[in-house]
Amino acid sequence: MNLFKTIFSSLILFCFLSESNAGDIKGTVKYDGKPPKKKPLRMDADPVCGAAHSGKVFSESFKVNDKGELAECIVYLRNITYSGKIPSTSVELDQKGCVYEPHVFGIQAGQELLIKNSDATLHNIHSMPKKNKEFNFAMPKVVKTKKSKFDTSEDPFYIKCDVHPWMKTWVLVSDHPYFAVTDSNGSYEIKGVPAGTYEVVCWQEKFKKR
């Protein structure tokens, strides 16, 4: 049976610090087992999409390297109180080559989401939350940016394109900044975590929460 596991490269450092200090959580997410075969995406329905790529484009739902290290997992904390400000900077989500960039991301509740269309074709961006307000709007090629936000923290849900069914991105809406997305080596780092004991959650598109 294939297993999904999180391996921490450093113990929860804040447990060893005074209450006035903060620590960092670092780790690596690995997959124990034979990875599934990559699934190519069919983009021939829209000539603009196919022309944007020189070769095959594969599904991003499971990205693992030859060491079993998983990319694009969201690692976040639960049972933590945060009284800081909402970031003034935007989180960017681009539609480029008829795929979403990034494929997985986190954003704080109330933070601005800047949605871009870098393609010379029509997209229709449609969020699928359970708690937040759904949005659903067209972005023709002449509309290059739209702004939105999510008001309530929510476990990862997907945003899709109603024009191109293969297009999907996943978003965590958090009420604090203590989350990270694993890189191509499965590594993550959550900085400045206040002293305390918290539940660490790891989410991956195929496996969901662990």
Tokens of 80: 């933590």
142-153 residue pLDDT tens: 999 999 999 999
pLDDT tens string for the chain (210 positions)? 344 554 444 333 333 334 557 788 889 999 988 888 889 999 988 999 989 998 899 999 999 999 999 999 999 999 899 999 999 999 999 999 999 999 999 999 999 999 999 999 999 999 999 999 999 999 999 999 999 999 999 999 999 999 999 999 999 999 999 999 999 999 999 999 998 888 899 999 998 776
Tokens of 124: 């229709």
Tokens of 87: 């970031």
pTM of the entire predicted model: 0.89
Q: CA–CA separation, 77 vs 200, rounded Å?
A: 5
Q: What DSSP designation does 15 have? A: G
Q: Where does 22-203 sit in CATH, by number?
A: 2.60.40.420
CA distances for 23 relative to 75, 175, 191, 195, angstroms: 16, 19, 7, 7
So where are the chain's domains? 22-203
CA distances for 203 relative to 58, 75, 133, angstroms: 21, 6, 22
Q: Where are the alpha helices (DSSP H) in 3-158?
A: 47-51
